Amino acid sequence: MVPPRLDLKSVGVPTGRRTQAQELNDIMRQIQHFIDGEFTAGSTGKRFDKRSPVDNAVIGSIAEGGRAEVDAAVAAARRALRGDWAALSTDSRVAMLYAVADEITRRFDDFVEAEMADTGQPAHVMEHVFIPRGAANFKVFADVIKNVPTEAFHTDTPDGRGALNYAIRQPKGVIGVVSPWNAPFLLMTWKVGPALACGNTVIVKPSEETPNTAALLGEVMNAVGVPKGVYNVVNGFGPDSAGEFLTRHPGVDAITFTGETRTGTAIMKAAAEGTRDVSFEMGGKNAGIVFADCDFDAAVEGIFRSAFLNTGQVCLGTERVYVERPIFDKFVAALKAKAEAVRFGRPRNTGANYGPLISKAHQQKVLSYYAKAVEEGATVVTGGGVPEMSGALAEGNWVQPTIWTGLPETAAVVREEIFGPCCHIRPFDTEDEVVNMANDTDYGLSTTLWTTHLARAHRMAARIDVGITWINSWFLRDLRTAFGGAKQSGIGREGGVHSLEFYTETRNVCIKL
């Protein structure tokens, strides 16, 4: 059933007395831009529907931004950059970011509901990972900016009096944040947190699939008194829409992007105009490597999570699994049993633990790879289709967790990022063989490696061409560490001091003594 889309003001609901829940409902139905501290429908008059991934019912109507909205957001961000935001001391800014994190925590349930509505993923993923990490993204980078020193050198001079060189950090300016749909709040705040901590102002272009939490964050910013124009959101699509207008805008000083590699290529071209700096976190085709000496149960659980969490929609996820031959059959059987035990259902259904894909289009893409695997000669160990769902859920974007074996390394499903709940498992015999296979890809984001052999773990970690290697773990993150991809998985590193490198300009001051 399609819920009515009501403008509460137009039907006489006294907006002054609306409860927070009603406000949330309002935002979920009528998602606006957030520009200069105000929610606005903008001037294009264009809107598009937000559909629920679980049943494809229309659950929201999103304002589509055009050039005018991007211009207004850039103007607001530039005013704030030189005005109220710049006027704050670092201490005050840090305190404000702590207040943002606390307000997110206070409105935790609203964020969980908003993100669940957008993604259809189970409540526990939102409650334990995505929303807490969103709050942490503000506190951690507030701490980093407060505690990381800048360099200083004493320099010898011919007259013997010397000189002092020291660095100061200045905000880079107005940052364009273009984010994806797979972990919307976590990934967006991972950029907004450090950008604001460093004194920049931001314009976020959330994914057209998942605009809710970016809008809610606007409420949080106003509630804690973040100056107008510091945080802005313009909704819309990519090409010839808000995404492209933002990344081409000369008033944007740097762009941080998370999404597909081919989108990154387009944004890089846009950023070349004006030689703006970019930070890119992009696709992956990550390898999971399991040695026979591993803790078997832990390895099965770890690979299961890395291949199937969030319905496989995780950039760090594992779509290629290599298992040492002596335990290959046992491993495939154990992973199959876990994949077949998932229970599909709505996010709040306590009997369910598995969600749908984000959209019909993405479901079709993933299913096309399921068909291609069969054409390419795969043995389908489990899955390969759509689970049987009843009632309204039959309309949702469900797919079965899928495991293949028997394909050559040249097969499309072994080479291309699918971004669904699927993996190909292949046996290996030697370290050299598995290193070569793991590295034989255009991507280089992450690896998860399972072994109890300490020296081998270090050896392998140094040889695999990725931004992060997890040993006997997966998705265990410390936000102070470098994060990013090698090869076509990214440009630059963020996290801890690395974020400061991107979000500030380091200036050197040289004083002759």
Which CB sits closer to ligand NAD, 52 or 247?
247
Quick one: CA dihedral 176, 182, 185, 191, positive or negative? negative
Which CB sits closer to ligand NAD, 52 or 258?
258
Piece of the chain touching ligand NAD by CB under 6 A; list 41-49, 214-222, 226-234, 277-285:
277-285
Which residue in the block uniquely carries the two structure tokens 């106003």? 222
Which residue in the block uniquely carries the two structure tokens 């046992």? 330
| Separation CA 276–CA 440 (nearest Å) | 32
Query: Closest approach of Cβ 393 to ligand NAD, in Å?
Result: 23
Query: Closest approach of Cβ 283 to ligand NAD, in Å?
Result: 4
Check binding of 266 to ligand NAD (CB under 6 A): yes
CB 64 within 8 A of CB 235: yes
Which CB sits closer to ligand NAD, 263 or 451?
263
Strand 379-382 and strand 318-324: the pairing is unpaired
Torsions phi, psi for 255 (to 5 deg): -125, 130
**69 catalytic per annotation:** no
Q: Quickly count: other Cβ atoms within 10 Å of residue 225's Cβ.
A: 10
Residues in 181-240 that interact with ligand NAD by CB under 6 A: 181-182, 187, 205, 207-208, 237-239
| Separation CA 245–CA 258 (nearest Å) | 17
Alpha carbon distances (Å) from 314 to 264, 310, 394: 17, 7, 24
Query: Closest approach of Cβ 265 to ligand NAD, in Å?
Result: 9
Which CB sits closer to ligand NAD, 398 or 483?
483
Check binding of 177 to ligand NAD (CB under 6 A): no
Q: Report the alpha-carbon angle 322-494-209, nearest 5.
A: 75
Check binding of 444 to ligand NAD (CB under 6 A): no
Pick the closest to residue 324 from 430, 422, 463 (CA basis): 430
Catalytic residue among 198, 294, 315, 423: 315
Which residue in the block uniquely carries the two structure tokens 């109220």? 84
Q: Quickly count: other Cβ atoms within 10 Å of residue 412's Cβ.
A: 14
Which CB sits closer to ligand NAD, 212 or 263?
263
**505 catalytic per annotation:** no
Which CB sits closer to ligand NAD, 7 or 240?
240
| Separation CA 326–CA 376 (nearest Å) | 26
- The mark string for 245-264 relative to ligand NAD (x by CB under 6 A, - otherwise) is --x----------xxx--x-
Strand 231-233 and strand 163-171: the pairing is unpaired
- The mark string for 306-345 relative to ligand NAD (x by CB under 6 A, - otherwise) is ---------x------------------------------
Catalytic residue among 219, 281, 319, 324: 281
Strand 277-281 and strand 490-491: the pairing is antiparallel
Give the three-class secondary structure for 397.
Answer: coil
Query: Closest approach of Cβ 219 to ligand NAD, in Å?
Result: 21
Query: Closest approach of Cβ 136 to ligand NAD, in Å?
Result: 16
Q: Which residue is nearest to ligand NAD (CB)?
A: 238
Residues assigned a catalytic role: 281, 315
Interface residues with ligand NAD (CB under 6 A)? 178-182, 187, 205, 207-208, 237-239, 243-244, 247, 258-260, 263, 266-267, 281-284, 315, 417, 419, 445, 485, 489-490
